[in-house]
Amino acid sequence: MGEKHYRSVIKTLSWRTVGTIDTMIISYFITGNLVMAVSIGSIEVITKMVLYYFHERAWNATNFGRSKSPENDYQI
């Protein structure tokens, strides 16, 4: 069973939220500057969302690591 595009979009947004918060925290610890940390996070959130979406769709297009479900997978 494949995933619909909107599922990939929602997964992209939720993962990027977590990733961007992580980037901002790390940037703040390195720079000590909150404005710089937010700036770095603001730039990377856009670029990584786009990259993740295409990465997710590419993985969805391959059967690598998937198992086939039996054709007669039902019970009476």
CA pair distance 54, 23, nearest whole angstrom: 21
pLDDT of residue 24: 95
pLDDT at residue 76 above 70? no
pLDDT of residue 16: 82
Per domain, the residue ranges of the chain are 5-60
Give kind and range of the element (H or E) at residue 53. Answer: helix 34-60
- Region 13-19: mean pLDDT is 86
pLDDT at residue 70 above 80? no
- Region 14-40: mean pLDDT is 93
CA pair distance 24, 12, nearest whole angstrom: 18
> 55 and 18 in contact (C-beta within 8 Å)?
no
Fill in the DSSP letter of residue 2: P
pLDDT of residue 21: 94
- Region 20-31: mean pLDDT is 95
CA pair distance 12, 6, nearest whole angstrom: 10
Percent of the chain residues past pLDDT 90, beyond the cut: 32
